[in-house]
Amino acid sequence: MENCFKFALVASLCIVIHFAQASRCPLSEQDQWKEFRNSCYFFSETSTTWQSAKESCEENGSHLVDILSRGENEFIHQRLNTYRYSEDYYIGATDRQHEGYFVWESTRSALGYKNWNVGEPNQHLGTPENCAEIKTDNGKWNDVPCDIVMRFICKRPVSRE
């Protein structure tokens, strides 16, 4: 009986710890926030322009995602695949300040890690393409016109409490 009590105590402690950890990222009904290496990522279910995606991330205490490593890109690409949704997603890279010079909007720093698709960025057919997307099929990046309406990914640090 005493063992049984100990077991119940440990089990409930585990459940409490599990939920305490799970809440390092915001909770949402649609479970859109995911945690990876001390950051939280929001995968939108609605579509909008790049500027309005940026503002929407900022309203949530986050920013359009900056992708700083291959591991991070793989995490994001895998998530997109698990949604089984074919639309591409906006990321935070833009060259709207200086044509041909892409930066991460949140820090205005030049891209370090890069994962452009073959031939990108290309200002396709001479049309201004000053914002970047990540492609759901292969996880590669492409420059697109900023007024295209699509889903987007936000990022913020995990909460420290």
* Contact map string, positions 76 to 115, toward Ca ion, x by CB under 5 A: ----------------------------------------
The C-alpha angle with vertex 114 and arms to 108 and 117, in degrees rounded to 5, equals 125
Contact status: 94 vs ligand BGC (CB under 6 A): no
Task: Calculate the alpha carbon distances from 115 to 76, 78, 100, 121 in Å.
Answer: 12, 15, 15, 10
Partner whose footprint covers residue 95, from ligand BGC, Ca ion, none (CB < 5 to 8 Å by kind): none
Residue ranges in 115-134 that form contacts with ligand BGC under rule CB under 6 A = 120, 122, 124, 129
Are the CB atoms for 88 and 114 separated by under 8 Å?
Answer: no
CA distances from 46 to 53, 56, 90, 152, 153 (A): 10, 11, 12, 8, 11
Closest to ligand BGC by CB, 62 vs 142, is 142
Q: Which residues contact ligand BGC (rule: CB under 6 A)? A: 120, 122, 124, 129, 142-144
Q: Which residues contact Ca ion (rule: CB under 5 A)? A: 122, 124, 129, 142-143
